[in-house]
Structure 1
Protein backbone atom coordinates (compact mmCIF):
# COMPACT_ATOMS: atom_id res chain seq x y z
CA UNK A 1 0.00 0.00 0.00
CA UNK A 2 2.86 2.36 0.82
CA UNK A 3 4.41 1.80 -2.61
CA UNK A 4 1.08 2.47 -4.27
CA UNK A 5 0.86 5.89 -2.59
CA UNK A 6 4.40 6.77 -3.58
CA UNK A 7 3.75 5.68 -7.16
CA UNK A 8 0.52 7.68 -7.22
CA UNK A 9 2.32 10.80 -5.95
CA UNK A 10 5.07 10.36 -8.52
CA UNK A 11 2.51 10.19 -11.31
CA UNK A 12 0.16 12.95 -10.10
CA UNK A 13 2.75 15.54 -9.01
CA UNK A 14 4.19 16.16 -12.50
CA UNK A 15 0.68 16.57 -13.90
CA UNK A 16 -0.30 19.11 -11.26
CA UNK A 17 2.94 21.05 -11.49
CA UNK A 18 2.83 21.12 -15.30
CA UNK A 19 -0.36 23.18 -15.44
CA UNK A 20 0.36 26.77 -16.34
CA UNK A 21 -0.16 29.44 -13.70
CA UNK A 22 -2.75 32.05 -14.55
CA UNK A 23 -1.41 35.56 -14.16
CA UNK A 24 -3.28 37.80 -11.75
CA UNK A 25 -4.11 41.26 -13.15
CA UNK A 26 -4.55 43.81 -10.37
CA UNK A 27 -3.68 47.36 -9.38
CA UNK A 28 -4.01 48.94 -5.96
CA UNK A 29 -4.86 52.59 -5.47
CA UNK A 30 -4.70 54.21 -2.04
CA UNK A 31 -6.52 57.51 -1.63
CA UNK A 32 -6.13 59.51 1.55
CA UNK A 33 -8.22 62.57 2.31
CA UNK A 34 -5.95 64.98 4.19
CA UNK A 35 -8.36 67.50 5.67
CA UNK A 36 -5.63 69.89 6.92
CA UNK A 37 -4.24 70.20 3.36
CA UNK A 38 -7.67 70.06 1.68
CA UNK A 39 -6.39 67.38 -0.65
CA UNK A 40 -6.73 63.83 -1.84
CA UNK A 41 -3.35 62.13 -1.97
CA UNK A 42 -3.36 59.19 -4.36
CA UNK A 43 -0.83 56.39 -4.72
CA UNK A 44 -1.40 53.86 -7.50
CA UNK A 45 0.61 50.63 -7.72
CA UNK A 46 0.63 48.74 -11.03
CA UNK A 47 2.79 45.86 -12.19
CA UNK A 48 5.52 47.43 -14.31
CA UNK A 49 5.40 44.84 -17.10
CA UNK A 50 1.61 45.22 -17.47
CA UNK A 51 1.64 49.02 -17.70
CA UNK A 52 4.62 48.86 -20.05
CA UNK A 53 2.68 46.49 -22.36
CA UNK A 54 -0.29 48.88 -22.45
CA UNK A 55 1.91 51.93 -23.13
CA UNK A 56 3.71 50.06 -25.93
CA UNK A 57 0.42 49.11 -27.54
CA UNK A 58 -1.12 52.56 -27.14
CA UNK A 59 1.75 54.99 -27.75
CA UNK A 60 5.14 53.65 -28.76
CA UNK A 61 6.35 50.06 -29.23
CA UNK A 62 9.85 51.04 -28.06
CA UNK A 63 8.77 52.27 -24.59
CA UNK A 64 10.84 50.79 -21.81
CA UNK A 65 10.05 51.39 -18.14
CA UNK A 66 12.43 50.97 -15.20
CA UNK A 67 15.50 50.63 -17.41
CA UNK A 68 18.35 52.83 -18.54
CA UNK A 69 16.51 53.14 -21.87
CA UNK A 70 13.52 54.87 -20.25
CA UNK A 71 12.88 58.26 -21.83
CA UNK A 72 11.14 61.40 -20.69
CA UNK A 73 8.50 60.67 -23.34
CA UNK A 74 7.69 57.40 -21.55
CA UNK A 75 6.90 59.34 -18.38
CA UNK A 76 4.70 61.74 -20.35
CA UNK A 77 2.87 58.81 -21.95
CA UNK A 78 2.36 57.25 -18.51
CA UNK A 79 0.99 60.54 -17.17
CA UNK A 80 -1.36 60.94 -20.14
CA UNK A 81 -2.59 57.34 -19.81
CA UNK A 82 -3.24 57.48 -16.05
CA UNK A 83 -5.05 60.83 -16.27
CA UNK A 84 -7.30 59.41 -19.02
CA UNK A 85 -8.08 56.19 -17.16
CA UNK A 86 -8.61 57.53 -13.61
CA UNK A 87 -11.43 59.99 -13.04
CA UNK A 88 -12.72 61.28 -9.73
CA UNK A 89 -15.75 63.34 -8.76
CA UNK A 90 -16.00 64.85 -5.28
CA UNK A 91 -19.43 65.86 -3.98
CA UNK A 92 -20.87 65.34 -7.46
CA UNK A 93 -18.32 67.50 -9.30
CA UNK A 94 -15.38 66.27 -11.43
CA UNK A 95 -11.99 67.27 -10.00
CA UNK A 96 -8.62 67.87 -11.62
CA UNK A 97 -5.95 65.24 -10.97
CA UNK A 98 -2.35 66.45 -10.79
CA UNK A 99 0.24 63.83 -11.72
CA UNK A 100 3.20 64.32 -9.39
CA UNK A 101 5.53 61.56 -10.53
CA UNK A 102 6.47 57.93 -10.25
CA UNK A 103 9.03 55.55 -8.84
CA UNK A 104 9.66 51.83 -8.99
CA UNK A 105 9.41 49.30 -6.18
CA UNK A 106 10.63 45.83 -7.18
CA UNK A 107 8.24 44.82 -10.01
CA UNK A 108 5.71 47.61 -9.35
CA UNK A 109 5.35 51.10 -10.76
CA UNK A 110 4.19 53.50 -8.05
CA UNK A 111 2.49 56.66 -9.37
CA UNK A 112 1.65 59.70 -7.25
CA UNK A 113 -1.36 61.90 -7.99
CA UNK A 114 -3.00 64.71 -6.01
CA UNK A 115 -6.35 66.47 -6.02
CA UNK A 116 -6.22 69.93 -4.43
CA UNK A 117 -8.92 72.15 -2.92
CA UNK A 118 -11.11 69.42 -1.42
CA UNK A 119 -12.61 71.35 1.49
CA UNK A 120 -15.20 68.73 2.39
CA UNK A 121 -15.71 65.09 1.42
CA UNK A 122 -19.37 64.05 1.38
CA UNK A 123 -19.25 61.72 -1.64
CA UNK A 124 -16.56 60.48 -3.95
CA UNK A 125 -17.03 58.67 -7.24
CA UNK A 126 -13.99 56.91 -8.63
CA UNK A 127 -13.58 55.51 -12.12
CA UNK A 128 -10.44 53.44 -12.67
CA UNK A 129 -10.11 51.77 -16.08
CA UNK A 130 -6.34 51.24 -15.86
CA UNK A 131 -5.26 48.21 -17.95
CA UNK A 132 -8.84 47.10 -18.59
CA UNK A 133 -8.61 47.50 -22.38
CA UNK A 134 -5.72 45.02 -22.53
CA UNK A 135 -6.58 42.63 -19.70
CA UNK A 136 -10.31 41.79 -19.38
CA UNK A 137 -9.63 40.10 -16.00
CA UNK A 138 -8.10 43.29 -14.59
CA UNK A 139 -9.26 44.34 -11.12
CA UNK A 140 -8.47 47.77 -9.70
CA UNK A 141 -8.70 47.84 -5.92
CA UNK A 142 -9.34 51.22 -4.29
CA UNK A 143 -8.66 51.90 -0.60
CA UNK A 144 -9.92 55.24 0.67
CA UNK A 145 -8.92 56.62 4.05
CA UNK A 146 -10.44 59.67 5.70
CA UNK A 147 -9.80 60.94 9.24
CA UNK A 148 -13.00 59.17 10.32
CA UNK A 149 -13.18 55.99 8.24
CA UNK A 150 -11.70 53.52 5.78
CA UNK A 151 -13.53 52.14 2.77
CA UNK A 152 -12.64 49.96 -0.20
CA UNK A 153 -13.92 49.26 -3.69
CA UNK A 154 -13.06 46.57 -6.22
CA UNK A 155 -13.51 47.80 -9.78
CA UNK A 156 -13.48 45.62 -12.88
CA UNK A 157 -14.47 45.73 -16.55
CA UNK A 158 -18.16 45.23 -15.71
CA UNK A 159 -18.11 47.89 -12.95
CA UNK A 160 -15.23 50.30 -13.62
CA UNK A 161 -16.52 52.93 -11.18
CA UNK A 162 -17.90 53.12 -7.68
CA UNK A 163 -19.30 55.72 -5.33
CA UNK A 164 -18.75 56.14 -1.59
CA UNK A 165 -20.83 58.36 0.71
CA UNK A 166 -19.71 59.89 3.98
CA UNK A 167 -21.86 61.48 6.70
Structure 2
Protein backbone atom coordinates (compact mmCIF):
# COMPACT_ATOMS: atom_id res chain seq x y z
CA UNK A 1 0.00 0.00 0.00
CA UNK A 2 2.84 2.38 0.88
CA UNK A 3 4.48 1.69 -2.49
CA UNK A 4 1.15 2.31 -4.26
CA UNK A 5 0.71 5.69 -2.53
CA UNK A 6 4.29 6.62 -3.43
CA UNK A 7 3.64 5.86 -7.12
CA UNK A 8 0.35 7.82 -7.06
CA UNK A 9 2.19 10.78 -5.46
CA UNK A 10 4.88 10.77 -8.15
CA UNK A 11 2.28 10.52 -10.94
CA UNK A 12 0.32 13.40 -9.44
CA UNK A 13 3.47 15.52 -9.29
CA UNK A 14 4.32 14.72 -12.92
CA UNK A 15 0.81 15.61 -14.08
CA UNK A 16 0.86 18.89 -12.15
CA UNK A 17 4.26 19.81 -13.60
CA UNK A 18 3.08 19.10 -17.14
CA UNK A 19 0.39 21.76 -16.78
CA UNK A 20 2.77 24.49 -15.69
CA UNK A 21 3.88 26.75 -18.51
CA UNK A 22 7.39 28.10 -18.33
CA UNK A 23 8.15 30.40 -21.24
CA UNK A 24 11.78 30.93 -22.03
CA UNK A 25 12.55 34.39 -23.39
CA UNK A 26 15.80 34.74 -25.30
CA UNK A 27 17.49 36.07 -28.38
CA UNK A 28 20.74 34.88 -29.88
CA UNK A 29 23.12 37.00 -31.95
CA UNK A 30 26.12 35.66 -33.82
CA UNK A 31 28.82 38.16 -34.83
CA UNK A 32 31.47 37.26 -37.39
CA UNK A 33 34.37 39.43 -38.48
CA UNK A 34 35.03 39.25 -42.22
CA UNK A 35 38.68 40.18 -42.73
CA UNK A 36 38.45 40.78 -46.49
CA UNK A 37 35.70 43.40 -46.27
CA UNK A 38 36.62 44.66 -42.75
CA UNK A 39 33.02 44.06 -41.71
CA UNK A 40 31.26 42.75 -38.62
CA UNK A 41 28.28 40.64 -39.74
CA UNK A 42 25.41 40.09 -37.29
CA UNK A 43 22.72 37.41 -37.34
CA UNK A 44 20.03 37.72 -34.66
CA UNK A 45 17.42 35.05 -33.96
CA UNK A 46 14.28 35.81 -31.92
CA UNK A 47 11.03 34.04 -31.15
CA UNK A 48 8.34 35.19 -33.60
CA UNK A 49 5.51 35.46 -31.07
CA UNK A 50 7.70 37.29 -28.52
CA UNK A 51 8.86 39.98 -30.96
CA UNK A 52 5.31 40.21 -32.34
CA UNK A 53 4.01 40.88 -28.81
CA UNK A 54 6.73 43.47 -28.17
CA UNK A 55 6.15 45.49 -31.35
CA UNK A 56 2.41 44.84 -31.35
CA UNK A 57 2.11 43.77 -34.98
CA UNK A 58 0.97 40.49 -36.48
CA UNK A 59 3.87 38.53 -38.03
CA UNK A 60 1.72 37.73 -41.07
CA UNK A 61 1.34 41.38 -42.10
CA UNK A 62 3.42 43.01 -44.83
CA UNK A 63 5.03 45.55 -42.48
CA UNK A 64 6.19 43.05 -39.85
CA UNK A 65 9.76 42.63 -41.07
CA UNK A 66 10.29 46.39 -41.44
CA UNK A 67 9.04 46.92 -37.88
CA UNK A 68 11.34 44.17 -36.57
CA UNK A 69 14.33 45.82 -38.27
CA UNK A 70 13.38 49.18 -36.79
CA UNK A 71 12.94 47.60 -33.34
CA UNK A 72 16.36 45.92 -33.45
CA UNK A 73 17.96 49.17 -34.65
CA UNK A 74 16.47 50.98 -31.63
CA UNK A 75 17.53 48.26 -29.18
CA UNK A 76 21.04 47.30 -30.28
CA UNK A 77 24.05 49.65 -30.17
CA UNK A 78 27.63 48.82 -31.17
CA UNK A 79 30.89 50.47 -30.14
CA UNK A 80 34.25 49.31 -31.50
CA UNK A 81 37.36 50.60 -29.72
CA UNK A 82 35.16 53.17 -27.98
CA UNK A 83 33.65 54.54 -31.21
CA UNK A 84 29.97 54.28 -32.14
CA UNK A 85 29.45 52.14 -35.23
CA UNK A 86 26.53 52.41 -37.63
CA UNK A 87 24.52 49.26 -38.20
CA UNK A 88 23.21 48.58 -41.71
CA UNK A 89 20.39 46.10 -42.13
CA UNK A 90 20.91 43.60 -44.91
CA UNK A 91 17.80 41.44 -44.57
CA UNK A 92 15.43 39.48 -42.40
CA UNK A 93 13.11 36.53 -42.62
CA UNK A 94 10.32 34.92 -40.66
CA UNK A 95 10.71 31.18 -40.48
CA UNK A 96 7.90 29.68 -38.42
CA UNK A 97 8.66 30.24 -34.73
CA UNK A 98 11.83 32.23 -35.45
CA UNK A 99 12.61 35.64 -36.88
CA UNK A 100 16.11 36.13 -38.30
CA UNK A 101 17.53 39.64 -38.69
CA UNK A 102 20.77 40.33 -40.55
CA UNK A 103 22.84 43.49 -40.20
CA UNK A 104 26.45 44.60 -40.45
CA UNK A 105 28.93 47.32 -39.63
CA UNK A 106 31.70 48.13 -42.09
CA UNK A 107 35.04 49.90 -41.83
CA UNK A 108 36.26 47.81 -38.89
CA UNK A 109 40.02 47.47 -39.41
CA UNK A 110 41.19 46.31 -36.00
CA UNK A 111 39.34 45.46 -32.79
CA UNK A 112 40.68 45.99 -29.27
CA UNK A 113 37.27 46.21 -27.58
CA UNK A 114 33.66 45.65 -28.54
CA UNK A 115 30.95 47.17 -26.40
CA UNK A 116 27.31 46.35 -27.05
CA UNK A 117 24.10 47.67 -25.59
CA UNK A 118 21.42 45.04 -26.20
CA UNK A 119 17.91 45.74 -24.88
CA UNK A 120 16.05 43.46 -27.31
CA UNK A 121 12.78 42.38 -25.64
CA UNK A 122 14.02 43.38 -22.17
CA UNK A 123 11.22 45.93 -21.81
CA UNK A 124 8.54 43.43 -22.78
CA UNK A 125 9.77 40.38 -20.86
CA UNK A 126 11.44 40.80 -17.44
CA UNK A 127 13.17 37.41 -17.64
CA UNK A 128 14.51 37.94 -21.18
CA UNK A 129 18.12 36.85 -21.77
CA UNK A 130 20.06 37.96 -24.85
CA UNK A 131 23.23 36.14 -25.87
CA UNK A 132 25.85 37.50 -28.28
CA UNK A 133 28.65 35.28 -29.58
CA UNK A 134 31.53 37.12 -31.28
CA UNK A 135 34.13 35.48 -33.52
CA UNK A 136 37.17 37.65 -34.30
CA UNK A 137 40.41 36.36 -35.83
CA UNK A 138 40.17 32.93 -34.23
CA UNK A 139 38.95 34.22 -30.85
CA UNK A 140 35.46 33.55 -29.51
CA UNK A 141 33.79 35.76 -26.87
CA UNK A 142 30.30 35.48 -25.41
CA UNK A 143 28.23 38.23 -23.86
CA UNK A 144 24.91 37.96 -22.05
CA UNK A 145 22.38 40.68 -21.40
CA UNK A 146 19.37 40.91 -19.12
CA UNK A 147 17.47 43.54 -17.18
CA UNK A 148 19.97 45.47 -15.11
CA UNK A 149 22.85 44.34 -17.35
CA UNK A 150 22.04 45.86 -20.74
CA UNK A 151 25.65 46.81 -21.63
CA UNK A 152 28.61 44.47 -21.95
CA UNK A 153 32.17 44.83 -23.22
CA UNK A 154 34.86 42.36 -24.26
CA UNK A 155 38.51 42.82 -25.17
CA UNK A 156 40.51 41.04 -27.86
Structure-1-length-normalised TM-score: 0.86
1:144 maps onto 2:138 in alignment: no
| Displacement of 1:10 | 4.1
Query: 1:112 & 1:10 partners in 2: Cα distance?
Result: 46
Q: Deviations over 1:129-155 (max 9, x none)?
A: 001111111111000001220010111
In the other structure, the counterpart of 2:36 is 36
- Change in Cα spacing, 1:84 to 1:10, as seen in structure 2 (3 Å) is closer
Query: 1:7 & 1:75 partners in 2: Cα distance?
Result: 50
The 3-state SS of whatever aligns with 1:154 is strand
The 3-state SS of whatever aligns with 2:109 is coil
The 3-state SS of whatever aligns with 2:67 is helix
What does 1:1-167 align with in structure 2 at a 5 Å threshold?
Answer: 1-18=2-19, 20-56=20-56, 63-65=57-59, 67=60, 70-71=61-62, 73-166=63-156
Structure 2 residues not aligned, in runs of 5+: none
Structure 1 residues not aligned, in runs of 5+: 57-62
Q: Is the 8 A contact 2:26 2:129 kept in 1?
A: yes
Measured on the aligned residues, the alpha-carbon RMSD in Å equals: 1.5
The 3-state SS of whatever aligns with 1:12 is helix
Query: 2:13 & 2:123 partners in 1: Cα distance?
Result: 38
| Displacement of 1:84 | 0.8
The 3-state SS of whatever aligns with 1:37 is coil
Q: Is the 8 A contact 2:65 2:93 kept in 1?
A: no
Query: 1:9 & 1:75 partners in 2: Cα distance?
Result: 46
Structure ranking higher in strand proportion? 2
| Displacement of 1:7 | 3.3
Query: 1:75 & 1:3 partners in 2: Cα distance?
Result: 55
Query: 1:11 & 1:81 partners in 2: Cα distance?
Result: 44
> Deviation above 6 Å: which 4+ runs of structure 1?
none
